[in-house]
């Protein structure tokens, strides 16, 4: 049996993992009156949010998934129900599908979490009732048992993509990489395994460092994969690393928090140092693609963030002082790597 993987594409698992979010997004829109509000006229995001009394930021995430599912469309910045949704999802339509789709929604906890996520004022908090660790992350403190659970979850979430990223030419020739919020260490381990010249340091909450050390030991990478317990919000970042790698970090936080993270990274990098953001990117008009939109919904329910477009990330990085912002698909599932340089 060969030890080499045949592919880093784990797309089929992502397709499967995110399916529970599709139907409740449509039943939540039905309950809130979204389709009826935009069947007769197209409305801007804020107008629609005011019309159905929901939080605009959360509504943007919901509309992206509805657009990916063929229920709404966005033209010139305004949203309208598609002919499909006008015909079958308008409550007064002869062929109204609401009773069928929503028939078992009382048994669907995700339906309730999605409706809650849209409540005015809730868009910022991520308090939807969905599983979330965001308050512990904000405090920079976790019990070790919880850290072990998150490490196992994130390891299987990220392992295929870590193998794909490690093989990118951008990872070659880096002496020292700081993996900000590196979780189980999966990216640091794969990078160090692939490139014998790299030393990678996982910067994490203290309990996550403990959890990551198990994965580092199992990989036999103790000499070149290190951990450092640093609260990325409150504490000073270590200097001396040529690359700051962030995987699935910006999608956890608001634009404002991400601006702070980009600024802290810029301050700690040497001139010529690079920042790398590993994320699933939204398209520029916020209407998909489907997996990005479904993942963004998961972020809305459990974090303070959402999936961002390249244009949005470029705005944050350039405002912090970075130049040469570029992106490429990594070849692992649905992810992209956004890179930029400190001049």
Give the footprint of ligand SAM on this chain (CB under 6 A).
Answer: 137, 140, 150, 154, 157-158, 181-183, 186, 204-205, 208, 231-233, 247-249, 252
**Residue of 339, 188, 341, 337 whose CA lies nearest to 273:** 341
**Least distance in Å: CB of 293 to ligand SAM?**
18
Q: Positive or negative, the Cα torsion across 116, 158, 261, 138?
A: positive
Contacts of 221 (CB under 8 A, 6+ apart): 189, 192, 193
Residues 115 and 336: their CA atoms lie apart, in Å, by 30
The smaller minimum CB distance to ligand SAM, of residues 32 and 171, is found at: 171
Give DSSP secondary structure letters for 179-209: EET-TTSHHHHHHHHH-TT-EEEEEE-HHHH
The smaller minimum CB distance to ligand SAM, of residues 88 and 334, is found at: 334
**Least distance in Å: CB of 179 to ligand SAM?**
7
**Least distance in Å: CB of 162 to ligand SAM?**
7
**Least distance in Å: CB of 341 to ligand SAM?**
21
**Least distance in Å: CB of 44 to ligand SAM?**
32
Helices (H), the chain: 11-17, 22-32, 34-37, 45-52, 56-68, 83-88, 98-101, 109-117, 134-139, 144-166, 186-194, 206-219, 255-268, 290-302, 310-320
The smaller minimum CB distance to ligand SAM, of residues 49 and 268, is found at: 268
**Least distance in Å: CB of 7 to ligand SAM?**
19
The smaller minimum CB distance to ligand SAM, of residues 73 and 252, is found at: 252
Q: Which residues in 9-43 are b (16+ Cβ under 10 Å) and which e?
A: bbeeebeeebeebbbbbbbbbbbbebbbbbbeebb
The smaller minimum CB distance to ligand SAM, of residues 97 and 233, is found at: 233
Distance from the Cα of residue 272 to its chain's centroid: 27
Residues 305 and 214: their CA atoms lie apart, in Å, by 29
The smaller minimum CB distance to ligand SAM, of residues 87 and 213, is found at: 213
Given a contact cutoff of 8 angstroms between Cβ atoms, the answer to whether 223 and 201 are in contact is no
**Least distance in Å: CB of 255 to ligand SAM?**
17
The smaller minimum CB distance to ligand SAM, of residues 102 and 302, is found at: 302
């Amino acid at each position: 049996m060969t030890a080499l993987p045949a592919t880093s594409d784990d797309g089929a698992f992502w397709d499967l993992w995110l399916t529970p979010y599709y139907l409740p997004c449509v039943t939540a829109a039905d309950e809130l009156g979204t389709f009826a509000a935009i069947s007769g006229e197209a409305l801007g995001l804020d107008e629609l949010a005011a019309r159905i009394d929901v939080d605009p930021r959360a509504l943007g995430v919901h509309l992206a998934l509805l657009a990916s599912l063929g229920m709404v469309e966005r033209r010139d910045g305004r949203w309208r129900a598609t002919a499909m949704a006008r015909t079958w999802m308008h409550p007064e339509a002869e062929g109204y599908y609401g009773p069928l789709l929503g028939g078992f929604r009382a048994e669907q906890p995700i339906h309730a979490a999605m409706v809650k996520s849209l409540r005015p004022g809730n868009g910022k908090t991520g308090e939807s009732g969905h599983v979330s660790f965001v308050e512990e992350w904000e405090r920079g403190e976790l019990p070790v048992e919880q850290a072990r659970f998150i490490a196992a979850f994130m390891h299987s979430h990220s392992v295929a993509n870590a193998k794909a990223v490690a093989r990118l030419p951008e990872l070659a020739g880096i002496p020292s990489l700081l993996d900000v919020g590196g979780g189980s260490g999966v990216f640091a381990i794969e990078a160090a395994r692939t490139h014998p010249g790299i030393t990678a340091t996982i910067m994490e909450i203290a309990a996550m460092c403990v959890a990551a050390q198990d994965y580092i030991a199992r990989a036999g990478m103790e000499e070149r994969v290190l951990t450092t317990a640093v609260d990325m919000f409150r504490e000073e970042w270590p200097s001396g690393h040529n690359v700051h790698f962030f995987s699935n970090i910006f999608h956890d936080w608001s634009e404002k928090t991400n601006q702070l993270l980009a600024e802290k990274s810029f301050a700690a990098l040497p001139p010529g140092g690079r920042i790398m953001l590993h994320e699933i990117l939204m398209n520029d008009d916020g209407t998909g693609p489907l997996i990005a939109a479904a993942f963004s919904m998961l972020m809305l329910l459990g974090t303070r963030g959402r999936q961002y477009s390249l244009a949005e990330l470029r705005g944050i990085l350039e405002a912090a002082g970075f130049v040469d912002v570029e992106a490429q698909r990594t070849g692992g599932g649905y992810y992209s790597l956004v890179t930029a340089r400190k001049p």
